[in-house]
Structure 1
Amino acid sequence: MVIRYSFDSLQPRPIDLPTEVPLDDEADLSVLDEAKILAAPASRADVERWRDQIERWREEARSRLCYSGAQYDRIESQWAQTCFAVAQVWLWDELLYSFEDHVFTPQKFLADARQRLGGLDAVVLWHAYPVIGLDDRNQWDYYRQIPGLKELIAQFHAAGVRVGVDYNPWDTQTRRGKADVEELAALVADLGADAVFLDTLKTAEPELVEALERAKPGIVLEGESRVLLARIEDHGASWAQFFADSPVPGVLKSHFFERRHMLHHVRRWHRDHSEEIQSAWVNGVGLMMWEVVFGVWVGWNKRDRSTAARMLTLQRSLSHFLLEGQFTPLVECADNADDKLVFGSSWKRGTDTLYALVNRSEIPITLKPIREETGIVQLDLMTGAVAQHLAITIPARGIAAVMTSQGEINPDMIELASEVSAIELSDDARFEHRRVHRVHESSRSKNTGESGVLIEPGEYVLTVRYRGRETGMYDGAPYVDEWKPLVPRLHDPRTLERVTTLDNPVIVAQHEVTNDEFLHFVRESGYQPAVSNRFLLHVKDGVNGRGHEPVCFVSLEDARAYCEWVGGRLPTEDEWQIAGDKQGFQRLEPHVWNWTESEYSDGRSRFAILKGGSDAQYDESEWYFDAGVRPPDFSAKLLLMGLGMSRSERIGFRVAFDRRNK
């Protein structure tokens, strides 16, 4: 059978493309209800007609839906209307958590965001995917079993940052508790979360909305991608993922329908974020700053970071214009501006008008942005320059901001311009790679091992098989500049080649360390882990009735401690694979994944390579961790969690010993 891809993942799908606005008086404008972006007209001559049509659509749609917007009047949820920067953050990001000190470090994380990105208004604490399915823990367990999580959220709140939790509706096969509606509502109430991010869902079912509202009045729901028009009423935000714009910036439909509905632009795998920034700027919406995507570094370049920092500073100070001002998209800002690929929007409030401009070209453009008007003074909010006939320069792929006023410029605006101009602007659009390194290098074992599987010294060329997933494997993003990788490309089986050299013979234990062996070590050595959470969770009163089975509920640190006690070390993933193909290599039952001495970090994500597979079969969703018993050449990348959360009933280990050459 030949499998043919029905899409080009480097190009937006039809569903992602902007929707053309019919300009005919008799056109049925309800076709715009399903749009993501309302495309700009092809000709400047059609702009006035285009504006009339999208305004007519909005009024007709509001009437058709009996729209009230009452939810947006509620004080409890109004923070979302000015939430211009939100970060999706893995709970165990090494800026947010110290694996050495076993504590959360939110101030370190927020300081980095302020210094590089212009600061954050909210965070989404991503918790379960892509590790869920490793064992029986469900998505609620991955929040509830974390010591100190409520204190972490309180620290974010104290810093003025709102907190969202993640809901995975596809998690239906792990440990069952109460219905999702009850579990999520209870979690929100217990943690004091401000928002719920709807992973894979555009909108939540009304029953869930009602339950969450009871748990936390004013809770903000943020749907993925295009929120359904009828549900903008009770979904205060949406993450605008995979929104392709027209060459001339179009209008974001949901925000145009309800100005107070916040969208957060994001193209998670892209190296160039200038188009998202420009669309957000001329529409008055925000950004999702997602630099670590499920363990993969996709950090923003210096140019886009500095542009975003300036934009966010302006948006936060000028939110009253963006929410209350008279909005005019595709305002005519200067003669021949369109020919120079400069476009903009304006918001008029009283006698002042804010102009948001973007330069779509690859070169800096200088122009007089506003038509000359008697008595009007203009302020370049990027530089602080004030003049009646102002000329400004817009960087390549950059943005500009001009405030005009009758008579004099408000002193607060002068101060704002000074703050913005102090943010150094970069034109460096190069991607800054992060390379992984081994976190822990074992010293040679003290003992040589009496029996086991012998690996002779020499060079080995290994074929490693793994499932693609969004975690990638070692270095590099798996879907660079792709819009939406779909099945079969998403989570597809892949291979890589590794070359390893052994200088001395290595003995790898025939089987995993058993419960009896590990408990003997604990009793004799007095071992106590630095963090006790989930340690030997299957052991009661120091006794386990399955002494011959592989020990589980142990972390990498626990496994290393045992290995050192017996005079050995953990095998690397390469040593495990080589030994696994040799006679005498055994797997105890129940089958469990094996830790290896292959812990890596790129400074933001820490992960380990697991070998062997387990008896777990959580495979009804492609989002679950790798299921089943696996051959020796299969590797799984497990993002490491702190505070004992990586201890699992499905992970054990075995010992390796170094032999000296005679």
Structure 2
Amino acid sequence: MTTSPHRTSTSVKFSHALTGPYFATPGAAPGWPFHDIGRWKVDVNAASDDWVQGLVEWRREHLIRIGFDDSLYRHPALEWAQSNFVHALLMAEDRYFYNPDTGRYTVDRYLDDLEARFGGIDSVLIWYIYPNVGIDDRSQFDLIHALPGGIEAVRQVVADFHRRGVKVFLPTMAWDNGTRDSDATDWDRLAELVVATDADGINGDTYSGVPRAFHVACESRGRPVILEPESTAQAGDHHLSWNLQSWTKRIPNEPVPHVVKLKWLEPRHIVNIENRWSRERTHDLQHAFFNGIGYVAWENVFGCMNLFTDRDAETLRRVATIQRRFASLLTGPDWRPYEQTLQAGVFASRWPRNGQTLWTLVNRQEYVTDGEQLSVPHVDGTRYYDVWNGIAIEPRIEDGRAILSADIEGRGFGAFLADTTGVDLGDFLATMKGLATRPLASFSPTWHSAKQALVPVEPTRPNETLPEGMIEIPAADFDFAVHGIVIEGYANEGVDVQYPWEDSARRAHRHRIAIERFAIDRHPITNAQFAAFLADSGYRPADAQNFLAHWHDGAVPAGWEDRPVTWVGIEDARAYAAWAGKRLPREWEWQYAAQGTDGRRYPWGNDWREDAVPPPSLARAMPDPAPVGTHPAGASPFGVEDMVGTIWQWTDEYRDDHVRAAVLRGGSAYQPQTSHWYFPQAYALNEHGKYLLMAPAKDRSAGIGFRCAVDL
């Protein structure tokens, strides 16, 4: 490396200024990132040698300052993380993971799909808590037990992933302090779950560094695990000693790729880039390739499908194939970013180790850069390969240097290997050559939102007389205006639900509907009414886990007869409705019965009235639902009661290929505190909740009941 004699400590400090968890790029002017004007003037080759040398010096000092201890990176049971390049967040409710029709987990179907589309994954985080947590007082630790089959079934799921070579993470959430309390610490409770399920890692949701206590708790039980925070950059780099893997948020889209700080400090630390809402992933995948790090292949984002485009999926397949084959080089100690390149706009990293050197290249230009790309020192007997295209190459040798050539697509990738060991690369090269027969540009970059379908509801037999306990709702042209209050997704297409008159899901909805005359229950169905249904029909759900969990020995608790029945899934509610000759109300029917035609905010008017609803509970324990009919001041214009603030109520269900979700209306009295991540309440009549569905075992809740409707 040639170092300028004029380099000063001041220039080094400036060159290595941090922009979040990344270093400012070499050759950048003060104020970087700056406006588009002048970016083409940045000369990385001219500045990179000094810049990298300063970066080496900074790393040496910084590791001393943070007291870095690499012992866990040398732990044999944890070394697998150093080749964990493709990490997925799996929603437990995903229909590719669990089949609600058969009541079985389908790990192979889930993995087969990912392998077919982008080459598969190395690890998976099973996500079973958020966004449904807070619908009742079940905590993050309760919800894993609520999964179909409980802990034993989860252990088998983990075994199924292991059989396919995929490691498994469980989540922990420091912010969950408003649900049911426990005497044990979070790390002890999670360590018990790790042991019980045979999981391999812990993901710290919103943690900028997972505390060492989680590692100690797991290792003391004979199960050391990988700790994975969202990023250690904000918590202090000392967390790097025991957080062996991490996510990083989206990386700034600048012409010159950034160096990821944690990867530079410890090359064995695999950072996975997470950009959940991106619809064009080339930028992130180029950074992963340049930095020798991984990617979070996250498509089911809390129930909103953000599937890879065909081009991005194929790009990930090729990037990960190279990274997995050369993982030992990408985690070696002598990584050199910003290797000198011969083409403007092409950037390279050098990864030497044990007689081999890999170069990973990214073309930040929009056009093809063809011909000579790198000039590297040549040693006689070295074999050279264009590994991106899967071929051996004979470079031009000049003045003791090998000139390596390849055509790199616009916004594309390249990779070369120099090998002095004689290793057999036959199968790997054949795989890459087969992939390279079709350029990435030939794959579609077009993104589509998932198309949802409303689950049909059969009309009831038209009733000539009004059934007992129901209220007639007259026909009307109704202005149905509502918006979803799911926390994630901004106003993106694909968020919330897709009504039959819409061409995509979206957060805000408005439509004028001609509603036929119907009747709706004055009150939610009570425990006594549900007990009569069971006694008369003999109904027993196929999945009985958590069915009527609040009953005692199959009987209604004393004093609960007139309270709304809860702990019933949407399937149980439909079974009751069919027995009664009724059906669940369509969502717009529910809203019309609550709102009338004047667009009021609440059933009783536009201003909140404390006497119209049960008092809200801010405690950690779920409040008992109030008996029906005890808040007549909350009646709608038609006299329908208990619409808001008592219990959530089942209405419609929507499905796409991966997601089932129910629209809940009305909200409940339970308002868990300490976090804005809990399932939000929807008291206003222009709001609805979207509740992800998996199986009755998990869907049933102390906060959800129902009422019925009939056609007139």
Q: For residue 115 of structure 2, what is the amino acid of its counterpart?
A: R
Query: Structure 2 CA distance, aligned partners of 1:574 and 1:588?
Result: 13
Instruction: Assess, with a 3 A threshold, how the Cα gap between structure 1 residues 562 and 473 changes in structure 2: closer, same or farther.
Output: farther
- Structure 1 residue ranges, 4+ long, deviating more than 6 angstroms after superposition: none
Any idea what the Cα deviations from partners look like across 1:559-584, whole Å, max 9, x if unmatched?
00111111111001100000112321
Q: Does 1:500 align with 2:544?
A: no
Native 8 Å contact 2:232 2:239 kept in 1:
no
Greater C-alpha Rg: 2
* Correspondence for 1:653: 706
Instruction: Provide structure 2 residue ranges, at least 5 long, that are not aligned to the other structure.
Output: 1-5, 28-42, 396-403, 497-506, 596-636
**Is 2:375 aligned against 1:361?**
no
The residue type equivalent to 1:603 in the other structure is D
SS at match of 1:445: coil
With 373-382 and 195-204 compared, the bigger mean Cα shift is at 373-382
Q: CA deviation at 1:378?
A: 2.7
Check 1:205–1:498 CA distance in 2 against 1; reply closer, same or farther (3 A cut): same
SS at match of 2:320: helix
Q: CA deviation at 1:555?
A: 0.5
Once residues 151 and 395 of structure 1 are traced to their aligned partners in structure 2, the CA distance between those partners, rounded to angstroms, is 44
1:617 and 2:671 matched: yes
Write the letter of the residue equivalent to 2:293: V
Partner of 1:157: 162
Q: Describe the SS at the equivalent of 2:461.
A: coil
Superposed CA deviations along residues 314-346 of structure 1, whole A, max 9, x for unmatched, are 111111211236322111232xx1x2x111111
Contact preservation (8 Å) 1:607, 1:638: yes
Q: Which of 535, 538, 541 is the equivalent residue of 1:529?
A: 541
Question: Which residue is equivalent to 2:480?
Answer: 462
Amino acid at match of 2:143: Y
Change over 3 Å in CA distance of 1:61–1:631 after alignment to 2: closer
Q: RMSD between aligned alpha carbons?
A: 2.4
Cα distance in 2 for partners of 1:369, 1:226 equals 35
Task: Name the CA distance, whole Å, in 2 between partners of 1:191 and 1:321.
Answer: 33
Supply the distance in 1 between the matched residues of 2:692 and 2:286 (Cα, whole angstroms).
34
Could you say which residue in structure 1 is the equivalent of 2:631? none
Give CA-to-partner distance per residue, 1:474-504, whole Å, 9 cap, x none.
Answer: 95148xxxxxxxxxxxxxxx853233333x3
Alignment of 1:17-56 (within 5 A): 24-25=8-9, 29=13, 35-42=20-27, 43=43, 44-56=45-57
Match of 2:692 in 1: 639
Q: CA–CA distance in 2 between the matches of 1:396 and 1:472? A: 31
Describe the shift of the 1:56–1:515 C-alpha distance in structure 2 as closer, same or farther (beyond 3 A): same
Partners of 2:417 and 2:91 in 1: CA distance? 39
Aligned partner of 2:285 in structure 1 is 277
Which piece of structure 1 moves more, 101-110 or 537-546? 537-546
Q: Is the 8 A contact 2:91 2:300 kept in 1?
A: yes
TM superposition shift of 1:421? 2.8
CA contact (8 A) 2:450 2:656 kept: yes
Deviations, residues 253-294 of structure 1 (Å, cap 9, x unaligned): 111111111100111111111111111111111110001111
Q: Which residue among 504, 511, 530 is the counterpart of 1:518? A: 530
Equivalent in 403, 411, 416 of residue 424 of structure 2: 411
Change (3 A) 1:621 1:193: same
- Per-residue CA deviations over 1:402-450 (Å, capped at 9, x if unaligned) read 11235x96432x4212112323554221113211111x31211035242
1:564-583 alignment to 2 at 5 Å? 564-581=578-595, 582-583=637-638
In structure 2, do the counterparts of structure 1 residues 588 and 345 end up closer, same or farther at CA, with 3 Å as the change threshold? Answer: closer
Q: How many angstroms apart in 1 are the aligned matches of 2:586 and 2:490?
A: 19
1:377–1:368 Cα change, 3 Å: farther
> What residue is the counterpart of 1:173 in the other structure?
178
Structure 1 window deviating more from structure 2 (290-299 vs 186-195): it is 186-195
C-alpha distance in 1 between matches for 2:200 and 2:647 = 38
Could you tell me the TM-score, scaled by structure 2's length? 0.82
**Unmatched 5+ residue regions in structure 1?**
1-21, 479-493
1:446 and 2:458 correspond: no
Matched, 1:584 2:639: yes
Matched, 1:542 2:554: yes
Change beyond 3 A, Cα 1:630–1:23: farther
Task: Classify the secondary structure of the residue corresponding to 1:441.
Answer: coil
The residue type paired with residue 22 of structure 2 is: I
The corresponding residue for 1:370 is: 374
2:211 aligns with: 205
- 1:602 shift after superposition: 1.8
The answer to whether 1:243 aligns with 2:244 is no
Which letter does structure 2 place at the counterpart of 1:154? A
CA–CA distance in 2 between the matches of 1:555 and 1:613? Answer: 16
**2:355 equivalent to 1:343:** no
Say which of 384, 387, 408 aligns to 2:390.
Answer: 384
SS in 2 for 1:370: strand
* SS state at 1:512 partner: coil
Q: Is 1:606 matched with 2:606?
A: no
Letter in 2 for 1:364: V
Q: Do structure 1's residue 435 and structure 2's residue 451 form an aligned pair?
A: yes
